[in-house]
C-alpha cells in the first residue's frame, strides 16, 4: 500500500493535527508502508521522514497567520506523484491543496479519502461573520466531502455533527495519547515553586489562545472563583488573544508555547485541567491531561464530551455558561479526595487510547476502501 497525503500543516508548525499526523507517520514507518506528503510546511532534517515531504508554495491564513494555505498550481506535483505511484490519496483539509489532491486522484483513477479535523465554519461567528457565511461554508463542505470515498472523523459527536449537515460516508479515526510522554512521573516541585505555588491547587489550560477556544468563559469563571478559593492559574500556549488575556488575568502565569519535556512537566505539575472550548472535534489535550493524572472540567459540546464521562474523570459543564463552569471547578477545589478519585479514573481512561491500535484500524479501513469496487 502506497499513500499520498495532502495536508496544510506539518512540523515545524505544531497543533493537534500535526500531533496526530506525526503519530501516523511513526506507525507507517514501523509497518513499512510507503508514504509521501504534500504540504506548505517541511520539517527539518531532525525528522527522518523530511525527505518524503514536498513543500508547496503558500500564503498566510487570513484568520490566523501561523497557519498557511497552499497554492499548489505551477509546481511539479503530478510528476512527483506519478513517480511515487500512490494507491490512495488522503486529504486532510478542504482547501485548494485538498482539491488538488482530489483532482489528481480522479485524473489517475485512484481512490481518495479525506479527514475532518477542525470546525473552521463554526469559527466564523467568533470573527464577526454572518449566519449566511456559515451556511455558504457548509454548502461548500457538503460538496467537497461528497467527492471522497470516505471522510474520517476523530469522534462520534463530530461524525453526527457532519451527518446532520448532510455529509455522508463518515468513519471514525480517533486520536491517541503517548503514555511515555505524558505521565504523573513528570511532576516538578521546582516548576511549581518557580511560579509561586505551594500547597494550593494549580489549575491549567493548554491550547491556542484564540477566540474559538471560548477563553472569555474561562476569564469569567476565574473572576468568580478567585473570590472564594486560593489557587494558581497557568496558561500554556500562544496566539492572538495573549495580550488580551494577560490584561484580564494579571494574577495568572503565562508559560507560552511548550513542547516536549516542558509540556509534560506542566501537565504533571498541575492539579486540575480546565478547558471551556465548545469547538473541539476531539480534544487531544484532554487525553494528555488524563495521562498526566489530571481530572478535567470541560463542557458538554464537541469531541471532548465523547472522552469525558461526567463525574468520573471530571465534570462536564453547560457550554457557554461560565457560572456552571466555575461551579464545577469549585466542587473539585473544595474536595481534594474527589480530585484523587478522578485522577485514578483519568489514568485508567488514558490507557484505552493507544496510538498503534488506532492507526492500525485506519490502515484496515484503507484496505477495505481499496478493495471495494465503488
Structure confidence by residue, pLDDT tens digits, 317-354: 999 999 999 999 999 999 999 999 999 999 999 999 99
The rounded percent of the chain whose pLDDT value lies above 70 is 98
Residues 49 and 165 in one domain: yes
Q: What is the CATH number of the domain that holds 271?
A: 3.40.50.2000
Residues 167 and 35 in one domain: yes
75 — pLDDT class (breaks 50, 70, 90): confident
Residues 290 and 198 in one domain: yes
Residues 301 and 358 in one domain: no
> Residue 63 pLDDT > 70, yes or no?
no
319-338 per-residue burial string, b: 16 or more CB within 10 A, e: under 16 = bebbebbbbbbbebbeeeeb
Kindly state the helix (H) or strand (E) to which residue 256 belongs, with its residue range: strand 253-256
Angle between helices 284-291 and 260-269 (to 10 degrees): 70
Yes or no: say if 194 and 320 are a contact pair by the CB < 8 Å rule: no
147 — pLDDT class (breaks 50, 70, 90): very high
Yes or no: say if 12 and 30 are a contact pair by the CB < 8 Å rule: no
Residues 77 and 205 in one domain: no
> Residue 64 pLDDT > 70, yes or no?
no
Residues 8 and 157 in one domain: yes
pLDDT of residue 121: 77
For 197, the domain range is 184-350
Number of domains in the chain: 2
The rounded percent of the chain whose pLDDT value lies above 90 is 86
Give me the chain's average pLDDT, please.
94
CB atoms near residue 133 (< 10 Å): 14
Residues 98 and 218 in one domain: no
Give phi and psi for 196, each to the nearest 5.
Answer: 80, 30
Residues 201 and 87 in one domain: no
Close Cβ partners of 141 (under 8 Å, ≥ 6 residues apart)? 94, 121, 165, 167
Q: What is the pTM of this model?
A: 0.88
Residues 105 and 19 in one domain: yes
Best CA proximity match to 87, nearest among 168, 5, 25, 173: 5
Mean pLDDT along residues 75-98? 94
Going from the C-alpha of 178 to that of each of 91, 157, 286, 339, the distances in angstroms are: 24, 23, 12, 23
Residues 157 and 242 in one domain: no
- Reading the block at residue 56, the C-alpha cell is 508547496
Mean pLDDT along residues 213-238? 97
Close Cβ partners of 189 (under 8 Å, ≥ 6 residues apart)? 269
Residues 10 and 155 in one domain: yes
Residues 243 and 339 in one domain: yes
Amino acid at each position: 500500500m502506497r499513500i499520498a497525503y495532502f495536508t496544510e500543516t506539518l512540523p515545524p508548525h505544531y497543533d493537534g493535527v500535526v500531533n496526530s499526523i506525526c503519530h501516523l507517520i511513526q506507525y507507517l514507518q514501523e509497518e513499512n508502508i510507503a508514504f509521501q506528503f504534500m504540504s506548505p510546511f517541511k520539517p527539518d532534517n531532525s525528522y527522518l521522514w523530511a525527505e518524503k515531504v514536498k513543500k508547496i508554495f503558500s500564503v498566510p491564513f487570513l484568520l490566523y497567520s501561523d497557519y498557511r494555505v497552499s497554492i499548489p498550481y505551477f509546481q511539479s506535483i503530478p510528476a512527483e506523484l506519478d513517480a511515487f505511484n500512490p494507491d490512495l490519496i488522503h486529504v486532510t483539509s478542504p482547501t485548494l491543496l485538498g482539491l488538488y489532491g482530489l483532482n489528481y486522484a480522479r485524473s489517475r483513477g485512484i481512490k481518495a479519502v479525506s479527514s475532518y479535523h477542525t470546525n473552521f465554519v463554526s469559527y466564523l461567528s467568533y470573527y464577526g461573520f454572518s449566519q449566511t457565511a456559515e451556511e455558504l461554508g457548509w454548502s461548500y463542505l457538503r460538496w467537497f466531502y461528497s467527492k471522497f470515498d470516505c471522510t474520517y472523523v476523530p469522534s462520534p459527536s463530530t461524525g453526527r455533527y457532519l451527518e446532520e449537515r448532510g455529509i455522508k460516508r463518515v468513519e471514525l479515526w480517533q486520536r491517541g495519547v503517548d503514555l511515555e510522554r505524558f505521565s504523573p512521573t513528570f511532576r516538578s516541585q521546582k516548576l511549581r515553586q518557580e511560579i509561586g505555588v505551594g500547597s494550593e491547587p494549580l489549575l491549567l489550560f493548554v491550547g491556542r489562545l484564540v477566540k474559538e477556544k471560548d477563553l472569555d468563559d474561562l476569564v469569567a469563571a476565574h473572576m468568580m472563583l478567585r473570590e472564594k478559593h486560593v489557587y494558581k492559574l497557568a496558561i500554556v500556549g500562544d496566539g492572538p488573544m495573549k495580550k488580551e488575556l494577560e490584561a484580564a488575568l494579571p494574577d495568572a502565569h503565562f508559560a507560552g508555547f511548550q513542547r516536549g519535556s516542558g509540556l509534560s512537566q506542566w501537565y504533571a505539575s498541575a492539579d486540575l485541567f480546565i478547558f471551556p472550548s465548545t469547538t473541539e472535534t476531539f480534544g487531544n489535550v484532554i487525553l494528555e491531561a488524563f495521562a498526566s493524572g489530571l481530572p478535567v472540567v470541560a463542557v458538554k459540546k464537541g469531541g471532548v464530551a465523547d472522552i469525558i464521562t461526567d463525574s468520573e474523570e471530571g465534570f462536564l459543564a453547560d457550554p457557554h455558561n461560565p457560572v456552571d463552569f466555575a461551579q464545577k471547578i469549585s466542587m473539585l477545589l473544595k474536595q481534594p479526595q474527589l480530585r484523587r478519585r478522578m485522577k485514578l479514573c483519568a489514568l485508567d481512561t488514558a490507557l484505552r487510547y493507544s496510538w498503534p491500535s488506532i492507526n492500525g484500524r485506519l490502515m484496515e479501513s484503507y484496505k477495505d476502501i481499496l478493495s471495494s469496487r465503488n
